[in-house]
Amino acid sequence: MKSLSADRRHFLLGAMGAAGAAALPLPATWAATRPLIDSREVAPGVRFVTGAGANVIALRGPDGQVLVDGGLAANARALMDHLDAKRLPVKALINTHWHWNHTGSNELLGKAGVPIIAHENTKLWMQRPITIPWDKREYPPVPAKALPTKTFYTEGKMDFGPHEIRYGWLGQAHTDGDIYVHLPKSNALITGGVLATGRWPVMDYVTGGWIGGLLEAGRTLLKLCDDRTLILQGAGEVATRAQLQAQTDMLDTLKERIWQLMRKGMSDTDIIAAKPTAEFDAALGDPTQFLQSAYKGLWGHVREQRGVV
C-alpha cells in the first residue's frame, strides 16, 4: 500500500491467506431483505441513520445531500428510499474506510455518477480480494463503478449548503485507510470504525489496522472535539468525548501490557490466558478477537516498539 513499508506490506499480504478461496455467504445477522432503517436529526441538516448495516450520516442541503458511508449493498436501495433520494439526490458519498458494511452503496451511487471520496488506501484495498480470518470470509474486488472516484492522502475539505466538511487520514488504525469527517459548524465528528463504544474495537490487521495506530487515531480525534461534540461512530449510538477518551486510555494501557507479555515470549494463546483485559471484560465482552488482533498487529510493527523480544 502507499502508506506501508515493504516489510509491513509483506506481513499484511502474507496474513491474508489464499486469495482464490470461494466467497462464503454473509452471516445471517447481516442478511437483510427489508432492513429496519431509522434516522433522526442530531444537528441542523445532519441526520444519523441506523439499520442499514453500519451507521450512515446524511448531510442535507437545499438541493440534495452528502452521505458519509453507505451501509450494506443489500440495503442500498432501501437506504435511498428512506433518505428520499429521488427528491434530495445524493451529491457525493464519502467512505470512511473499505469495510463492506460501510461501502455497500458505492455501486448503486457510482452507476448514477455520484462522486465517491475516500483515502487512496481504501481504493487500493477495494481492488483486490481480501480474506478476513475472524469472519471466515473472502471479500472479492468490488465492481469498477463501486470504486472511489476521488482519493486523497492527508486531508481535504468541501462546502455543501450550510455544511463545512473537513476530512483527514487517521493512519493505520482500524484499517490503513481510516478517515474522520469533521463538521465544525455542527460541532460533529464522524469516526467510522475507529471508535467502538460498549464493545471491543476492531483492529483489522489484514488491511493495516493495529493497536498502536488505533491509539494514535484516538489522540488525533480528541484534538478535534470538546465536551459538547457529537461523535457519530460507525455502529452504536451517538458518543461523547468522554467515551473517546476512555477508549484511548484503555488502548494506551493494553498496548503496553500486551507488548510486555510478548517480550516474555508469550503466544497469542498465552496472552489470552493471562487475561490482561480483565477489568474491561464485563463492559466490553469476550476479548479473544481483540487480543488476537492486537498480537498480530504488534508483530507487524515489532521494529517500532520500545525494546526487543
Whether 48 maps to a domain, the answer reads: yes
User: For residue 220, what pLDDT is reported?
Assistant: 98
The angle, 0 to 180 degrees and rounded to 10, between the axes of the packed helices 211-222 and 241-263 is 150
Span 34-46, average pLDDT: 93
Whether the Cβ atoms of residue 20 and residue 138 lie closer than 8 Å to each other: no
Residue 300 maps to a domain: no
In this prediction, residues 50-66 reach a mean pLDDT of 97
pLDDT digits (tens, 9 = 90+) for 91-149: 999 999 999 999 999 999 999 999 999 999 999 999 999 999 988 999 999 999 999 99
Residue 142: CATH number of its domain: 3.60.15.10
Q: What is the pLDDT of residue 135?
A: 86
The pLDDT value given to residue 35? 73
pLDDT at residue 305, as a whole number: 80
186: exposed, middle or buried (C-beta count within 10 Å: 0-12, 13-18, 19+)? Answer: buried
pTM of the model: 0.88
Return the higher-pLDDT residue of 308 and 170: 170
**Residues spanned by the domain of 78:** 6-252
Does residue 206 fall inside a structural domain?
yes
Residue 147 is assigned to a structural domain of this protein: yes
Q: In this predicted model, what pLDDT tens digit does every residue of 172-218 receive, in sequence order? A: 999 999 999 999 999 999 999 999 999 999 999 999 999 999 999 99
Question: For the residues 276-298, what does the mean pLDDT come to?
Answer: 98
Residue 260 lies in a domain: no
Residue 161 lies in a domain: yes
Does some domain include residue 269? no
pLDDT band at 34 (very low <50, low <70, confident <90, very high): low
Q: Report how far residue 42's alpha carbon sits from residue 143's, in angstroms, rounded to the nearest whole number.
A: 33
Tally the domains of the chain: 1
149's grid cell: 472516484
